[in-house]
Chain A
């Protein structure tokens, strides 16, 4: 690790190097994070809707927990590189959720949805690049 790797500038962004492990961690955080909404979706159909029923359902609690873990892993990853490089990888969560929706929840994924996901990922990549 070079010294500039450790130095924070005023923006809170790190030096110019993006380590491979940081990219790996971001991808891991998207995989963990994708479990969250899946658990919420499965859980919410098992309860009668009320505030108490939402916050005490084990699957919904587990989903929330995975979202928090995912955010923690993501923040760790941000210490290892530039936001503009890591941001695009974070957009993978939209791909995972769509794939799991299709193969696990058996939802219909049509051409419009595939096109939509591709455009959202493209958009996040462009916004990430604009942070350079």
Chain B
């Protein structure tokens, strides 16, 4: 189990990164108008929640990097693309699913699986 601590932490980072991106997009629909000043825009609670998610993700990534090689852990951040691709159309009706998008999702999932396997194999040698 200890073997996978770093990877699990980075998967959590990818969840938080996904939350941040969705929150940023949600805030951009309302925040950036000519009527609002820069201060109003930055004080938008949804935007602030997005920044907090990124901050947490940063801290957890740092903790994770103590557990394993960077070349094993960093690629797992790529899972953010997978979660965003799946979740985004649920929040934004103009964002749709497509065969191409699922092919991309499948390739990334296969890619991180290879990395996880390669990282483990590398440790045992």
Contacts and interface: CB of A to CB of B under 8 A. Distances in A.
Interface of A: 10-12, 37-38, 40-41, 43-45, 49, 51, 54, 60, 64, 67, 94, 97-98, 101-102, 105, 107-113, 115-130
A82 to B, nearest CB: 15
B70 A41 contact: yes
Interface of B: 28, 58-59, 61-63, 65-66, 69-72, 74-75, 78, 81, 85, 94, 98, 100-101, 103-119, 121-122, 125
* A contact patch SS: helix
Among B78, B101, B116: residue with most chain A CB under 10 A:
B78
A119 B81 CA distance: 13
* B contact patch SS: helix
A41 B107 contact: no
Contacts of A128: 104
A97 B115 contact: no
Given A110-B118, A120-B75, A10 B94 contact: yes
